[in-house]
Structure 1
Amino acid sequence: MLRKAALTVATLSIYSALFSAQALAHGWSEYPVARQKICSDQGGIWSGTPPNAACAQAKDISGPYPFVQKNEYSININDFNNIQAVKNAIPDGTLCYANDPQKKGMGAAHSGWNRTKVQAGTFQYVFKATAQHNPSFWQFYLTKPNADLSKPLAWDDLELIQEEGNISAVGGKYHTNVTIPTDRVGDAVLFVRWQRIDAAGEGFYNCSDITIVNNDVTPPPVDPDPEPTSPYLVQGSTFIPQNISLDSASVGDTVSYKVLNKNSVEHASFSLVITDENKNDWDRLLASNVNGWYESTNDGNVFIGRWHDEMNHYMYFKNDLHSNYFNSKDSRASGEFSITTEDIGIDAVILPKVLKNLDGASVEHGDYVVLTHAKSEGDTTNVEWLQTSGLPVHMNIGSNNELIIKTADLPNRREEFTFKLLLSNSSMTDADVYSFVMEPSKITEPTEPTEPTEPDSNTWSASQTYTAKEVVIYDGKSWTAQWWTSNEEPGTTGQWGVWR
């Protein structure tokens, strides 16, 4: 049954028309949580793989952009009161990413999306607004009982169960009671449309994967973090130089951005190869890589975009190429943009490994860190590793030119390190930069040693795969794997090898 509140579709005032100007990126469904928010919170965006298979598939298709831009699932539709115009602008299969081709991984078919339990009947829907938009109206759709959830969402899969008019935000969130038919149970998708009443017709579209139940469920947690109310970063130079346009980069070119610290030393670098799919969007994708990486690893102390006074947050201004800036907590830091064209290229990629999952580019004192170039591409004749910042460390090079860092040899305190990989052949070079933080470990009191026991027999097998910290017996000795390995014989990998 459709529950409908009064909708106000008013004639636009001058104020609302002006307020809508190029403002994008403004929130997500918090309860039940939108799928892009779930993927963003899981990790595995900048190193490794998201633990959820559906999120991992989305990353394979679209990269990190859909997760970083979790509050920008929007599209402008001038004729927004005409539902057929909305369906034409957001065709079947594109609903969960508002037909933004750079986020299409979030609409791909997969049975593994994480689901939120929602009580049948009336529950309180919550939308986290990173920017509040009024006047506006809301529409809530639920998949029909016979909808095939293994396929991308289509309009015929949905039924409109409720509409709401203008809602006032409280504490940066919109709250409203939504009623799910009491005879429904099982998996479903709640599709929410939040439509601004403005000249541009900006609307926001979120998919929440849910399981409808008929028992008590845990309500969403209260967000304790207050939102900032004024700029907290120092604005620097423009992100894209004035003499550069989107057409300046051709398909096959690489656009790059370096972040330099207060000493003009490279702290991080980001690059994007121009393709037919991203040639009109490469600026926002590159900026998203910078913003997302610094948000997840450095507390957001660098942001590409600018502060929006009305919305009280930093944002990247899409379709306004030269109005976005390098912003940093340190006024002495800076950014550097470049475009490179190579006929036959090599691509340097650093793949980090540690003895446990790398969480937000952070390791604990005592961990081994292994940086490899295994994901790099092209014919390479020379591999070189350089340390560009941080307390000097002893760099050990493995048999496959991997860089091995023994953090136990360093003081047990917080340190940040940056390393550069240089690949080259007779005609070209390429580089990649990786930074990580070493956190101090807890010091435990030593215990009395126990008498060693004689090993029973050899347990190592050349056909078996071993992961970090697995122990085998070989040739009468005990050997511990330092990282992933297969078919490497203990005792032959050297002092800094995988078996020790």
Structure 2
Amino acid sequence: MLRTRLLPLVAVVSATIPQLAFAHGYMDYPPARQEICDSDGGYWESTDGSTIPNAACRAAFKESGWYPFVQKPEFAKLVSDFTNQAAVEAGVPDGALCSAGDPKKAGIDIPSSEWQATPIDPSLNGKLTLLYRASTPHNPSFWKFYLSNAAYNSATDALKWSDLDLIAEFGNVPVVVINEKKYYQMTITLPTDRTGNAVLYSRWQRDDPAGEGFYNCSDVSFGGDIVVPTWQSLGAAVKATDNANSGDTVWFRVFDGSGTETVFEKLAIDVTNQDEAVWAAQLADIINNGSTGVRLGKLSQDGLVSWDNADLYGNLVYVKDQSATFQLDIKREVLNNAPVLNVPLTVNVESGQSTQIAVSATDADNDALTFSASQGTVTVTGNDATIGYIAPATTTDLNDTITVTVTDGTASSQAVISVNVKGSGGTGGETNWDANSTYLAGDKVTHFGVTYTAQWWNKGEEPGTSSAWVADKGAGDQAWSKDIAYSSGDTVVYETKTYKAKWWTKGDLPKNGGPWTEVK
């Protein structure tokens, strides 16, 4: 199984770094084994390593736990006699070279055919530019790089010093800054006649009394007898932390080297597929059947990629474009929150007077709000509103209500304001009827010269046309009412004029003629 880690194609800036007390770092390109395992992740989500995508990293986890991964810049050994190769080999013994002789990191030494190897580009004629991540830079120091010989097999053998050939040495190397990170950068020459897999072994040795040195194993592939597959891995397709719930949407995107999106697939999650194993398999089916340059699953010896339901976290993302990257996101369902309305419970106002009632609302989603009211005029400023209300003219106290509504366009809230109208305290005698006034049972008004008595609470109901009013009967002619039946010869007053019924009638306006004739 091969893993591609491309050298960053960015401007490199030299930097002068002050001397520090401690040095730490690791091989970033080609990536050291512990860097690959840490980058792939999955080691926090299970105790048996089942969530780790790479089989070699799983084996390392079972042997040493997560310690080698989180300690990736500290694969170090103190050898005070560091210029003595025999002393170095005693401190970092055979079979423990990749762990820098640390028993707590021994999982990195385990032989496996699954260690992800970085392909060597044959067109560069053996030239390989190394990037060593300088977590804490330090000079003076020196470097030695070794390559395992052709007889060594990383799938079956733990690395020994006798398996290595020294291919490059450097003294102090200046620090460079790439994407705001500090690196040591060196170019070495590899043999051009090699085929198959090999281990590039790096030693970064501090020149100080303690003799701290850093030792890393990077797996590489020269091709040749080992067929380099068309597909290149970008890492685990899904992780144990990729939790999706009903209503969410899974986004899967692939970008080329310039950042242009080349693949974008969405998968809706509901109660039938919210289990990760289910939706991940559905996503793989969509990608594997709909995209030519991307596959999700495991790579077989014959170069085919297929999804393995039995090993969810061992499935990887494979691409044909070595510069490609991918992104899997779970977009949570966006739930709209109804606005919260704030209004006064009660308002007091004098009969016939106006008042301004302040209301407000809040919206957790910061949506634009619209206010309305069942009465009055509404003036809105942002999330605040003012309701202009005019109380009805009344001689007695009464209660009115205003229903206020606020909406964000999707959800709305309502509240009721109770308005206490203080009556004017008049005698309750006759007044001219007013369409804008409120009347209670027993109130009397005059309308077109006729006195009417209110039968119940009413407003805007015209005397002589509504059963809410009954005309008072006097000694002479009575006021016409639509609710009274009249016989031939009855006389009534309507709009200051007197009319006489010609036959039985009820509800017919006298001024319209018909059963009525005006008495001159």
TM range (shorter): 0.3 to 0.5
TM-score using structure 2 length: 0.39
> Rg: which structure is higher?
2
Bigger relative contact order, structure 1 or 2 (CA pairs below 8 A, ≥6 apart): 1
